[in-house]
Amino acid sequence: MKKDTTYYGVKEIARRANVSIATVDRVIHNRTGVSEKTKRKINDIIKELDYQPNILASRLASRKIITLAVLIPRVSEETDFWEAPLRGIKRAESEIKKYGIEVLHYFFDLNDKNSFEEQARKLLKEDVQGVLLSPSFIEESKEFVQACHTKKIPLAFIDSDLPGQDNLCYIGPHLFHSGYVSAKLLTYRLKENHKVLVVNISKEIDYNYQQIEKGFRSYFTDHNQPCEIVRIDIADTDNLSVTNALTRVLHEHKDLEAIFVTNSRVFAVASFLKKSKRTDISLIGFDFLKENINYLNEGLIDFLICHKPEEQGYRGLMALYQKLVLGAPVEKVHFMPIDIITRENQAFYQN
Instruction: Output the pLDDT for position 3.
Output: 40
> What percent of the chain has a predicted confidence (pLDDT) above 90?
61
Q: Is the pLDDT of residue 4 over 50?
A: no
Higher pLDDT, 350 or 85: 85
Higher pLDDT, 96 or 61: 96
Q: What is the pLDDT of residues 101-156, one digit of tens each?
A: 999 999 999 888 999 999 999 999 999 999 999 998 889 999 999 999 999 999 99
Mean pLDDT of 69-73: 97
Domains of the chain (ranges, CATH numbers): 10-53 (1.10.260.40), 66-173+309-337 (3.40.50.2300), 175-306 (3.40.50.2300)
Instruction: Output the pLDDT for position 276.
Output: 93
Q: What is the pLDDT of residues 33-43, one digit of tens each?
A: 899 999 999 88
Mean pLDDT of 23-27: 85
Query: Between the CA atoms of 205, 180, 71 and 110, what dihedral angle is there, to the nearest 10 degrees?
Result: 40
Spell out the SS3 assignment of the chain.
Answer: CHHHHHHHHHHHHHHHHCCCHHHHHHHHCCCCCCCHHHHHHHHHHHHHHCCCCCHHHHHHHHCCCEEEEEEEECCCCCCCCCHHHHHHHHHHHHHHHHHCEEEEEEEECCCCHHHHHHHHHHHHHCCCCEEEECCCCHHHHHHHHHHHHHCCCCEEEECCCCCCCCCCEEEECCHHHHHHHHHHHHCCCCCCCEEEEEEEECCCCCHHHHHHHHHHHHHHHHCCCCEEEEEEEECCCCHHHHHHHHHHHHHHCCCCCEEEECCCCHHHHHHHHHHCCCCCCEEEEECCCHHHHHHHHHCCCCEEEECCHHHHHHHHHHHHHHHHCCCCCCCCEEECCCEEECCCCHHHHCC
Q: Is the pLDDT of residue 163 over 90?
A: no
Q: What is the pLDDT of residues 279-304, one digit of tens each?
A: 889 999 999 999 999 999 999 999 99
Instruction: Output the pLDDT for position 197.
Output: 95
Q: Is the pLDDT of residue 7 over 60?
A: no
Q: Is the pLDDT of residue 1 over 80?
A: no
Ramachandran bin of 103, using left for φ above 0, alpha for ψ from -120 to 50, beta for the remaining angles: beta
Instruction: Output the pLDDT for position 350.
Output: 66
Q: Is the pLDDT of residue 193 over 90?
A: no
